[in-house]
Amino acid sequence: MVTLDVDYFRDLETPRLAHLAPNLVAAAFPLMKLMPARFILDRAASNGELKRGSHIVETTSGTFGMAVALLAAARHYRLTLVTASTLIDAKYKARLERIGATVIALDDPRGDGNQPGRLERLQEILANEPDGFWTRQYDSPGNWLAYARLAELFIRAMGKVDCLVGCVGTGGSLCGTASFLRTVFPHLTVFAVDTHRSILFGQPVGKRMLRGLGNSVLPKNVRHELVDEIHWVGAYPAYGTAHRLLRDHGLFMGPTSGAAALVAQWVATTLSDAQVAVIMPDEGHRHAETVYNDDWLAALPGWPCKEPSEPRTLTTIAPAAETQWTRFLWLRRSLDDVLKTREAGEVPPAVGAAENL
Amino acid sequence: MSREALRSQVGTAAAIAHHGELIQGVFKDDGGRLHRGLVTLPITGLRSEASFARSDGDAVVVHPNHKIKASAAAQLTLEFLNVTGGGVLTLQSAIPVGHGYGSSTADVVASIRAVAAALNVQLRPSSIGRLAVAAERASDAIAFDEHAVLFAQREGTVIENFAGSLPPLLLVGFKANAGAPVDTLQLPPARYDSAEIQEFGVLRALVARAVRLQDPYLLGRAASASALISQRHLPKQGFGEIAEIARRAGACGVQVAHSGSLFGLIFDLFASNLKRRAALVAQQIRRAGFKDVEVHLVNAEGRTW
């Protein structure tokens, strides 16, 4: 049964996730990636890099691709998305193509989404297109600059933000939001969420189950100096939390959002006097045939994994310990240090100067 | 339509000064277009008073005669109200010139109000703001008195109405750069980069929240961040030292006149031990070599210091 808070109706973009923790506010709205996509395209158009009829290219199969596809359709640009066959299902590919995008899904013999040749294919298209434009979601400063809007929304909803939790894919949403929030809340603690076998925070690359998370390259938009703690979340806990978001809050989100919400719940439960903000960047429709499909789930080995009856707090989990639910790497500080810092009012290292566009 | 029938002999009005801006920068409107904008920090202790006596001549004569912008504002107001003739405009102001107190805008707004009063017309603050910009090219938001708005100072429009007044504050104000005045109109408009423009959206949200919750600390954070950005465009000597004094004193934040020499330390008016803390801060500021340290009350509902 779906129960909806009053807050959900009052502010659809930033609902308070009262069923997970009373001090937890989410940014959860469809196509959050429209923010960076629009920013990057607007900037390129004003610089003259994009002209009417230009050909946009990007390597993505996710929500950024959908956002660019919608904008490209509205603004009459051609769009080609290059991806791996294991990262995109037929229905989502068909939806992108109906909007007008050309989707090139390359073979993925290793099945890990890291197949060689994706960038070469993209370069090949650009070489043959005098008006080609690569949005560069992994490296464009526009990707993190656009997330000032998210920082603004959090402030309008919560006032003061003590902790920020978000997944790291391209690094844009978490690092961008954190960067802008830190300029006004220097004590902000930033919790990054990643999945196993992702290169971003030093793990060996391998096959990953959690679509949307895990990288085989290091994007320039990932700014490690902004992150206080890293949490590696497995696919099953992320699926389970995504189901819970739908069941308890009426939020139809993808597994990446589930992973972020899971960590955010633990943070909010531990730091019960802190205002915790969580970024939930993917919507559920794209995962209707997988994460929300009982047959697909039933075929997974070991599904369902046993959900803890109560949310465990971070302090009960030893640093760097691997658990059934998640694995933590304490990057700079243990949670105890975070708590002490909050009490002492110590100012963390200054945020680096923003790069100009 | 002529409003000759509404004519009265003399109209009098006043306008308050301000202590520079809480935030100033470039902001997006609902359509995504960028506008230069600011949130004014009003101070009621300083004011300009104007009286306007209608005459049958075409000209507006102003006393003192160097108040050209006020004269232009009076003329524009007559035209706006579709009234022929002129009058004698007399101004009296205690607001220091050239430091960011908004002395010329106070004259202009008082003049517009006085002309309207002489015609028995009550002008809306938004109309007064537009007329003020027309008269002096760039204005501020004192037409709205103590109501908080994000005002496009070169267009005379409201980008965001924060729907309330600023929280009650105590302001310890003083002058930077050895008290040297700044000619606002000679300053080139600051060119903000993309990151700064994005940050202004965050500061605007902080001000909105501060007004909604009457939270002086959120307001102070917004002011400090805007002051820091302003350092890149119109640097004030001793900024770091003042920021440190503010931090040690538990101030809500540091505020500056973005096109003037004023500095301000913002305190919560209801904070404990405020008189002693303010006195200590004033002493430290003087010791650091700054001049003209004063205390102002904002939205203090008649309290005196």
The pTM of the full predicted model, rounded to 2 decimals, is 0.86
> Contacts of residue A74 in chain B, CB cutoff 8 Å?
none
Question: How confident is the model at residue B35, as a pLDDT?
Answer: 94
Of A114-123, B263-272, B288-297, highest mean pLDDT:
B263-272
In tens, the pLDDT along B79-93 reads: 999 998 899 999 999
Question: How confident is the model at residue A202, as a pLDDT?
Answer: 64
> Contacts of residue B205 in chain A, CB cutoff 8 Å?
151-153, 155-156
- List, as ranges, residues 188-217 from B with C-beta within 8 Å of A: 193-196, 198-199, 201-206, 208-209, 213, 215
Question: How confident is the model at residue B205, as a pLDDT?
Answer: 97
Say yes or no for a CB contact (<8 Å) between B206 and A155.
yes
Say yes or no for a CB contact (<8 Å) between A185 and B221.
yes
Which of B70-79, B155-164, B207-216, B232-241 has the lowest average pLDDT? B232-241
Question: How confident is the model at residue B182, as a pLDDT?
Answer: 65
Share of chain B above pLDDT 70, in %: 94
Q: Please, what is the end-to-end C-alpha distance for chain B in angstroms?
A: 49
Share of chain B above pLDDT 90, in %: 76
Of B295, B265, B258, the C-alpha closest to B100 is B258
Say yes or no for a CB contact (<8 Å) between B193 and A181.
no
> Contacts of residue B221 in chain A, CB cutoff 8 Å?
184-185
What average pLDDT does this structure show over B171-192? 77
Say yes or no for a CB contact (<8 Å) between A155 and B205.
yes
Whether residue A58 contacts residue A67, with contact meaning beta carbons closer than 8 Å, is answered with no
Say yes or no for a CB contact (<8 Å) between B199 and A180.
yes
Question: How confident is the model at residue A196, as a pLDDT?
Answer: 72
Q: Does A334 touch chain B (CB under 8 A)?
A: no
Tokens encoding B70: 């006020």
Q: Does B222 touch chain A (CB under 8 A)?
A: yes
Question: How confident is the model at residue B224, as a pLDDT?
Answer: 97
Residues in chain A, pLDDT under 70: 1-12, 108-116, 197, 199, 201-208, 216, 305-357
In tens, the pLDDT along B146-162 reads: 999 999 999 999 999 99
Question: How confident is the model at residue A206, as a pLDDT?
Answer: 66
Q: Quickly list DSSP for chain B.
A: ---GGG--SEEEEEEEEEEEEEEEEEEE-TTS-EEEEEEEEEEEEEEEEEEEEEESSSPEEEESTT-HHHHHHHHHHHHHTT---EEEEEEEE-PPSSSSS-HHHHHHHHHHHHHHHHTT----HHHHHHHHHHHHSS--SGGGTTEEEEEETTTTEEEEEEEEEPPPEEEEEEESGGG----GGGSPPP---HHHHHHHHHHHHHHHHHHHHT-HHHHHHHHHHHHHHHHTTS--TTHHHHHHHHHHHT-SEEEE-TTSSEEEEEEETT-TTHHHHHHHHHHHHHHTT-EEEEEEEES-TT---
pLDDT bucket at B226, cuts 50 / 70 / 90 = very high
Say yes or no for a CB contact (<8 Å) between B194 and A184.
no
> Contacts of residue B215 in chain A, CB cutoff 8 Å?
159
Q: Chain A: give the shortest CA distance to residue B221, in Å.
A: 6
**Average pLDDT value over all residues in chain B:** 91
- List, as ranges, residues 247-286 from B with C-beta within 8 Å of A: none
pLDDT at B218 over 70: yes
CB pairs under 8 A between A and B: 59
Q: Does A155 touch chain B (CB under 8 A)?
A: yes
Q: Does A144 touch chain B (CB under 8 A)?
A: no
Residue of A43, A185, A356 with shortest CB distance to B193: A356
Q: Does A29 touch chain B (CB under 8 A)?
A: no
ipTM of the complex: 0.87
> Contacts of residue B225 in chain A, CB cutoff 8 Å?
183-184
